Chain A
Amino acid sequence: MSIIKPAPAAPTDTGNTAAAGQRTGTGGRSRGPARKHFGIHIFLTVMAAMWLVPLGWTVFTSLRPKADTDKYGYFSLGGSFNFDNFVEAWTRGGFAQYAWNSALITIPSVILILFLASMMAFAVSRVSWKFNVTLLIMFTAGNLLPPQVLAAPLFQMFKQLELPYSVSDSGNLLNTYISVIAVDTAFQIGFVTFVLSNYMKALSSELTEAALVDGAGIWRQYWEIILPLCRPALAAMGTLEVIFIYNDFFWPLLFIQSGDRLPLTTAVNNLQGQFLSDYNLIAAGAMITAIPALIIYLLLQRHFVAGLTLGSSKG
């Protein structure tokens, strides 16, 4: 997207921001005189500033030592700024364990989701058989249910399923990562199947027919022809699902009872209990939890946005 240089004299000619406002709807997309954009800029700048306040306040609080805020007050610039709160929150709060738990849940879930959903998407979009649309509808609908609808039966199913204590120290599936991974996977394959099947439908049918003439079986068509072509969609879905699962609060809350097995997002629930009214530490803990998501955002923003919009391209 190119940025239009505004005419130099324009900002002084504020004239009427009302007129600018009226014309915001479309205006000349390529002309874009700065006079018209002046009102828009003011509005956007104010909004952006408001948008940054909560996160900015958290960062600000997290960087100040508790002693300084006690001395100067929370609403002051006095005192020093450092990362001591992050270090203390990390060690006292057991964040290393939470971060590891997040990885243990997120990585297998995303791999399973991409693998299972791409198989299913291939089967419903590239092979025509009787129930493929029906199944795709069932998959898509499943992802739209509120998770709380399934909570009681899933909890009881996992509780009643007895496992040897060598596998699970609870004697059943509760309090295990497997329970969270399984449900996250089941819940998300619907959405990813839907998106990938739309993507695969758009690929030319000649691709697999040519392979068929060469004697390629279903698996080779899927694994060697279609999947490599889906790389952009897989990258987008992978990024999106990493964030979705990393951010999932509910399933670990329901299934995991031991505090030291919680992932970062669900452990956020305990921050206030852990650090009582030491808001500097709470802020540092919140920032630690935000950092993985923000890093992925900075590195993979393109894929994340592509993933969100891919999901909405049909309807």
Chain B
Amino acid sequence: MSTSNTTAAGAQSTARAPAGRVRRMSRRDKWILGFMVGVPTLIQLVLVWIPTLLSAALSFTRWNGLSLADIKGAGLENYRFIANDYPPFWPAVQHNVLWLVFLSLIATPLGLLLAILLDQNIRGTRIYQSIFFTPVMLSLALIGVIWQLFYNRDSGLLNFLLGTAGTPQAVDWFGDSSVNIWAALVAATWRHAGYVMILYLAGLKGVDPTLREAAQIDGANATQTFFRVIFPAMRPVNVIVIVITVIESLRAFDIVYVINRGTNGLELISALVIQNLVGEGQVIGVGSALAVILLVISLVPITFYLSRAFGKDKEA
């Protein structure tokens, strides 16, 4: 790489001649670069980060959402109200935790198991993959509707298969508040496991085959080879899967909203945020405080992921 001569190519240089590594941009190029960075950054700031900060600010106010002049400071009152006097809050927290535990202990391991099985050269692996992957293409809202048809008290297939259809024992799986969270989790697993499967299938293909051979030569059995060699070698995929699992359980919203707007056994923090923001008697302050609680919890997996994804960059 040639370096520019000291007199000519300064920052002002509009010459098209190639300059050195440092001074290689003409003024025009700087404007263009400013545009390329500026427009996306401005959009990102105005529509993502400033609203996030405003959410935090609104959580310390009392506001009915009508006129900006009506915003009144409220200190920590909204948070106190949520913790002490807002009955759906603690059930919602429990349900979010349950969502996370269920996805982590059932849906994600199931996806990993499917990936391991399908990674062996078995007959028809593509067909199996396509079947398990199909729900990933569907929106969670649509999944709610599809499972509603399956779970219905009178016309749903599940009650028929259990032999309870048309009898008083028939269960309304999405309507009965003692079971509907589990029914919703099964529906969410239907999609999540396929997603995890496809990520791990790619991860397994990326593992150096000599690692596996070396482990077997050393006398490791299949289980040992997997847990001590293959699984650790898929670290980048593991990080993604952990992050996706945690974030999906915090973002869970569509499916419960389609079923009953997140009430009656299906309370989730995300749904409570929206219940407080729309409809009559808007309580923007309470909704925002719930949003901030959701945000603070989300920062844990987000920070974890960013430190993994960018930590190495900074050191290098």
Q: Mark A125-152, 1 if CB is under 8 A from B, else 0.
A: 0010100010111111110111111111
Cα(A294)–Cα(B221), bound, Å: 40
Q: Mark A278-290, 1 if CB is under 8 A from B, else 0.
A: 0100110010011
Inside 8 A of B144's CB, which chain A residues have their CB?
Answer: 268
Q: Mark A301-315, 1 if CB is under 8 A from B, else 0.
A: 100110011011111
**In the complex, which residues 70-98 of chain A have their Cβ closer than 8 Å to any Cβ of chain B?**
74-75
Complex contact B28–A217 (CB within 8 A)? yes
Cα(A43)–Cα(B120), bound, Å: 14
Complex contact A75–B145 (CB within 8 A)? no
Given A26-B230, A54-B146, A145-B298, are A309 and B40 neighbors across the interface (CB < 8 Å)? no
Complex contact B149–A61 (CB within 8 A)? yes
Cα(A190)–Cα(B47), bound, Å: 12
Cα(A305)–Cα(B195), bound, Å: 10
Cα(A283)–Cα(B240), bound, Å: 34
Complex contact B44–A142 (CB within 8 A)? yes
Cα(A61)–Cα(B254), bound, Å: 23
Inside 8 A of B68's CB, which chain A residues have their CB?
Answer: 160
Inside 8 A of A138's CB, which chain B residues have their CB?
Answer: 44, 49
Complex contact B137–A116 (CB within 8 A)? no
Q: Mark B225-240, 1 if CB is under 8 A from A, else 0.
A: 1100010000111011
**In the complex, which residues 101-151 of chain B have their Cβ closer than 8 Å to any Cβ of chain A?**
114, 116-118, 120-128, 130-135, 137-142, 144-150
Complex contact A144–B305 (CB within 8 A)? yes
Q: What size tier do the contact residues of chain A reach?
A: 35 or more
Complex contact B149–A2 (CB within 8 A)? no
Residue of B nearest to A129 (CB): B33
Choose from B25, B47, B65 the contact partner of A183 (Cβ within 8 Å): B47
Cα(A196)–Cα(B273), bound, Å: 33
Inside 8 A of A35's CB, which chain B residues have their CB?
Answer: none
Inside 8 A of B230's CB, which chain A residues have their CB?
Answer: 26
Given A3-B121, A315-B236, are A133 and B142 neighbors across the interface (CB < 8 Å)? no
- Say yes or no: is B180 at the interface (Cβ < 8 Å to chain A): no
Inside 8 A of B28's CB, which chain A residues have their CB?
Answer: 217
Cα(A283)–Cα(B152), bound, Å: 12
Complex contact B43–A185 (CB within 8 A)? yes
Inside 8 A of B99's CB, which chain A residues have their CB?
Answer: none
Q: Mark A34-60, 1 if CB is under 8 A from B, else 0.
A: 000100110110011001111101100
Given A24-B222, A154-B51, are A30 and B121 neighbors across the interface (CB < 8 Å)? yes
- Say yes or no: is B176 at the interface (Cβ < 8 Å to chain A): no
Choose from A119, A141, A246, A289 the contact partner of B306 (Cβ within 8 Å): A141
Cα(A84)–Cα(B164), bound, Å: 30
Q: Mark B147-174, 1 if CB is under 8 A from A, else 0.
A: 1111010110100100001000000000
Complex contact A249–B225 (CB within 8 A)? no
Inside 8 A of A160's CB, which chain B residues have their CB?
Answer: 68
Choose from A25, A151, A297, A315 the contact partner of B240 (Cβ within 8 Å): A315
Looking at chain A's contact residues, the main secondary structure is: helix
Q: Mark B15-56, 1 if CB is under 8 A from A, else 0.
A: 011100000111011001101110111011011111110110
Complex contact A145–B236 (CB within 8 A)? no
- Say yes or no: is B247 at the interface (Cβ < 8 Å to chain A): yes
Q: How far is the CB of B184 from chain A (nearest CB, A)?
A: 13
Choose from B49, B125, B190, B194 the contact partner of A1 (Cβ within 8 Å): B125
Choose from B120, B123, B139, B222 the contact partner of A265 (Cβ within 8 Å): B139
Cα(A246)–Cα(B141), bound, Å: 12
Cα(A207)–Cα(B37), bound, Å: 21
Cα(A2)–Cα(B138), bound, Å: 29
Complex contact A312–B48 (CB within 8 A)? no
Cα(A85)–Cα(B125), bound, Å: 34
Complex contact B288–A152 (CB within 8 A)? yes
Choose from A133, A142, A187, A222 the contact partner of B310 (Cβ within 8 Å): A133
Complex contact A48–B128 (CB within 8 A)? yes
The interface-forming segment of A103-111, A208-216, A228-236 is A208-216
Inside 8 A of B17's CB, which chain A residues have their CB?
Answer: 215
Q: How far is the CB of A242 from chain B (nearest CB, A)?
A: 11
Q: How far is the CB of B77 from chain A (nearest CB, A)?
A: 17
Interface-central residue, A119, A185, A294, by most chain B CB under 10 Å = A119
Q: Mark B246-289, 1 if CB is under 8 A from A, else 0.
A: 01001101100110000000000110011001100000100110
- Say yes or no: is B11 at the interface (Cβ < 8 Å to chain A): no
- Say yes or no: is B217 at the interface (Cβ < 8 Å to chain A): no
- Say yes or no: is B85 at the interface (Cβ < 8 Å to chain A): no
Complex contact A151–B145 (CB within 8 A)? no
B residues neighboring A (CB under 8 Å): 1, 16-18, 24-26, 28-29, 32-33, 35-37, 39-41, 43-44, 46-52, 54-55, 58, 65, 68, 114, 116-118, 120-128, 130-135, 137-142, 144-150, 152, 154-155, 157, 160, 165, 187, 190, 194-195, 198-199, 202-203, 209, 212, 216, 221-223, 225-226, 230, 235-237, 239-241, 243, 247, 250-251, 253-254, 257-258, 269-270, 273-274, 277-278, 284, 287-288, 291-292, 294-295, 298, 301-302, 305-306, 308-310, 313-314
List of 4 A-B pairs having minimum Cβ-Cβ separation, nearest first:
A25-B222, A247-B139, A186-B47, A153-B54
17 contacts between A and B (CB under 8 A): A51-B190, A58-B150, A120-B36, A133-B310, A133-B313, A144-B301, A148-B270, A148-B294, A149-B291, A152-B287, A190-B44, A218-B33, A219-B32, A268-B258, A286-B149, A312-B237, A312-B240
